[in-house]
Amino acid sequence: MPVHDKTVAVITGGTQGLGYAIAERLIAEGCGQIIIAGRAVSKGEAAAETLRATGADVRFLPADMGQPADAIALIDRTAARFGRVTALVNAAAGTDRGSILTATPDEWDRLMNVNARGPFFALQRFAQLAIAGGHPAAAVNILSMVVHCGQSFLAPYSASKAALANVTKNAAQALRGHKIRVNAINCGWMDTPGEDEVQRRYHGAADGWLAAAEDRAPMGMLVKPVHVAGLASYMLGAGSGVMTGAVVDFDQNVAGAYPE
């Protein structure tokens, strides 16, 4: 039996990388109605067209998650198109650099808005509509291992993801009586197009950086989106039962471990 044959999903940041991989996984497991959202219209339309080739009804909607009105409208527009929304993935995120010594108020606000405030209000509207519709629902927030600390150059980013980790647990507690489950995944260093851009833009990486990084990794690879997508799909599906409020580390480096 298809796992997601009754799932109607919204995936922010769904035009590439992990968000796109989650869309692919949901479709492979029976989901036929998905909205992917992002800021780049041409990229989003192309991604949606590719996903529609599977036979699923996949549409792109432009949304800036730094704007709460966009986040709320995204959920409303999805419900208007499909009648309801049963699954939400908050995968969109900014990854700008900044330390405790260098980050500006504008940089702090931008990352907090995109990574925490926007997802909060998308989740809020998602829950409101599920309660009004009287149906169960599940959400997954994509976090990062930086919630445990993060590199010094990721101070605002780490704080924003830690904020969303708390939102995950707080919302799970508040919504469990409505059969709305909220879980999250702390992703480690991941092999995505976005990470390639970040490495080149901020760290002067050249061709071959990925191979070098994977040579140094304990398991010989960075985290792969297709693997995380499997966990996200499980969290969104009925097979995860009553699981809610979970924040799962998905990495080969263990938080709190020290060199042997």
Domain extents for the chain?
A: 8-185+223-250, 189-222
What count of residues does the chain have?
260
User: What does the pLDDT profile of the chain (260 residues) look like in tens digits?
Assistant: 689 999 999 999 999 999 999 999 999 999 999 999 999 999 999 999 999 999 999 999 999 999 999 999 999 999 999 999 999 999 999 999 999 999 999 999 999 999 999 999 999 999 999 999 999 999 999 999 999 999 999 999 999 999 999 999 999 999 999 999 999 999 999 999 989 999 999 999 999 999 999 999 999 999 999 999 999 999 999 999 999 999 999 999 999 999 88
Q: Could you say which DSSP state residue 10 is in?
A: E
Tokens standing for residue 198: 């970040």
Rounded (to 5) percent helix, strand, coil in the chain: 50, 15, 35
Q: Is 154 helix (H, G, I), strand (E, B) or coil?
A: strand
**Could you tell me the CA-to-CA distances from 27 to 92, 189, 229 in Å, in that order?**
19, 25, 11
pLDDT for 1 equals: 64
Nearest to 77 by CA among 108, 122, 28, 47: 122
Read off the amino acid at residue 150.
G
pTM: 0.96
> Hey, CA dihedral for 40, 70, 96, 13, is it positive or negative?
negative
Distance CA 233, CA 218 (A): 26
Q: Is 76 helix (H, G, I), strand (E, B) or coil?
A: helix
Q: What is the CATH number of domain 8-185+223-250?
A: 3.40.50.720
pLDDT for 2 equals: 86
Distance CA 248, CA 168 (A): 11
Taking only Cα atoms into account, the Rg of the chain, rounded to an integer number of angstroms, comes to 18
CB atoms within 10 A of CB 176: 14
What is the separation of C-alpha 171 from the centre of its chain, rounded to a whole number of angstroms? 16
The separation between the first and the last C-alpha atoms of the chain, rounded to the nearest angstrom, is 46
